[in-house]
Structure 1
Amino acid sequence: MASDSASSPDRVPVLLLKTKSSPTDAYQDIFSVPNDDGFPSFEPIFVPVLQHRFEDDGMQQFEKLLRERRINRSADSAYGGLIFTSQRAVEAFAKLVDEGKGDQTWPHLQDIPVYSVGPATTRALKAIPQTPPLQIFGEHTGNGDALARFILDHYGEWYKDRPTKPPLLFLVGEQRRDIIPKTLMDEALPDGRQIEVTEIVLYGTGVMESFASDFADVLQRTTSRPERWVVVFSPTGCDSMLKGLDLLDQATGKAVEKASGVKPPTSIATIGPTTANYLKKTFHYEAKVCAKEPTPEGVRQGILDNMVKDI
Structure 2
Amino acid sequence: MPPQTPILLLKTKSSPHDGYEDYFSTNGYTPSFIPVLEHRFHTENLASVRELFASGAFNTDTTTTTPDNGSKEASVCKKKYGGMIFTSQRAVEAFAEMIEQKGLPFHPSQSTPLPLYTVGPATARALAPLRDTYLPTATIHGADAGNGHNLAHLILDHYNALQLQLQLQLRLQQDRPSDADADLGSHKPKPSLLFLVGEQRRDIIPKTLMDTGRPAAERIDVDEIVVYETGEMGSFEVDFRDVLRRERQGAGGGPIWVVVFSPSGCEGMLRVLGLGPFKSASASVDRDGDGDGEGRRRDVFVATIGPTTRDFLRERFGFEADVCAERPSPEGIAEGIRRFVDGSGE
Query: Do they fold alike, i.e. is TM over 0.5?
Result: yes
Residue identity opposite 2:32 in structure 1: I
Residue of 203, 214, 225 corresponding to 1:200: 225
Query: Matches of 1:179 and 1:102 in 2, distance apart?
Result: 29
TM-fit CA distance, 1:172: 0.8
Residue of 42, 63, 79 corresponding to 1:55: 42
Contact persistence 1:71–1:109 (CA under 8 A): no
Query: Matches of 2:94 and 2:2 in 1, distance apart?
Result: 40
Residue identity opposite 1:85 in structure 2: T
Secondary structure of the corresponding residue to residue 235 of structure 1 = coil
Query: Matches of 1:291 and 1:206 in 2, distance apart?
Result: 25
Comparing 103-112 and 217-226, the one that deviates more: 103-112
Residues 1:28 and 2:21 aligned together = yes
Residue of 331, 334, 338 corresponding to 1:297: 331
Once the two structures are superposed, the pairs formed by residues 151-300 of structure 1 within 5 Å of their partners are 151-160=155-164, 161=167, 163-223=188-248, 225-247=253-275, 249=277, 259-300=293-334
CA separation of 1:102 and 1:283: change in aligned 2, threshold 3 A: closer
TM-fit CA distance, 1:75: 4.9
Contact persistence 2:54–2:106 (CA under 8 A): no
Contact persistence 1:72–1:109 (CA under 8 A): no
Per-residue CA shift, 1:148-180, capped at 9, x if unaligned? 111001110111236232221111111222221
CA separation of 1:220 and 1:284: change in aligned 2, threshold 3 A: same
Residues 1:148 and 2:152 aligned together = yes
More helix by share: 2
Per-residue CA shift, 1:199-247, capped at 9, x if unaligned? 1110011222332111111222344524322101122222221221123
Residue identity opposite 1:300 in structure 2: A
Contact persistence 1:225–1:264 (CA under 8 A): no
CA separation of 1:151 and 1:75: change in aligned 2, threshold 3 A: farther
Secondary structure of the corresponding residue to residue 262 of structure 2 = coil
Contact persistence 1:108–1:130 (CA under 8 A): no
Residue identity opposite 2:139 in structure 1: Q
Secondary structure of the corresponding residue to residue 297 of structure 1 = helix
RMSD over aligned Cα atoms: 3.0
Query: Matches of 1:181 and 1:109 in 2, distance apart?
Result: 27
Query: Matches of 2:104 and 2:337 in 1, distance apart?
Result: 48
Query: Which structure 1 residue ranges, 4+ long, deviate > 6 Å from structure 2?
Result: 106-110
Residues 1:94 and 2:100 aligned together = no
Q: Which has the larger radius of gyration?
A: 2
CA separation of 1:179 and 1:109: change in aligned 2, threshold 3 A: farther
Per-residue CA shift, 1:234-279, capped at 9, x if unaligned? 22222221221123648xxxxxx96434343422111122322332
Per-residue CA shift, 1:80-123, capped at 9, x if unaligned? 21101112111221222234438573899964222122322222
Contact persistence 2:42–2:226 (CA under 8 A): yes
Query: Matches of 1:82 and 1:173 in 2, distance apart?
Result: 15
Equivalent residue for 2:116?
114
Equivalent residue for 2:8?
15
Query: Matches of 1:166 and 1:24 in 2, distance apart?
Result: 33
What TM-score, normalized to structure 1? 0.82
Contact persistence 1:152–1:184 (CA under 8 A): yes
Query: Matches of 2:268 and 2:225 in 1, distance apart?
Result: 29
TM-fit CA distance, 1:189: 2.1
CA separation of 1:187 and 1:259: change in aligned 2, threshold 3 A: same
Secondary structure of the corresponding residue to residue 80 of structure 1 = strand
Contact persistence 1:272–1:292 (CA under 8 A): yes
Equivalent residue for 1:77?
79
Residues 1:132 and 2:160 aligned together = no
Q: How many pairs were matched up?
A: 292
Contact persistence 1:47–1:211 (CA under 8 A): yes
Gaps of 5+ in 1: 1-7, 35-40, 251-256
Query: Matches of 1:240 and 1:169 in 2, distance apart?
Result: 35
Query: Matches of 2:104 and 2:255 in 1, distance apart?
Result: 54
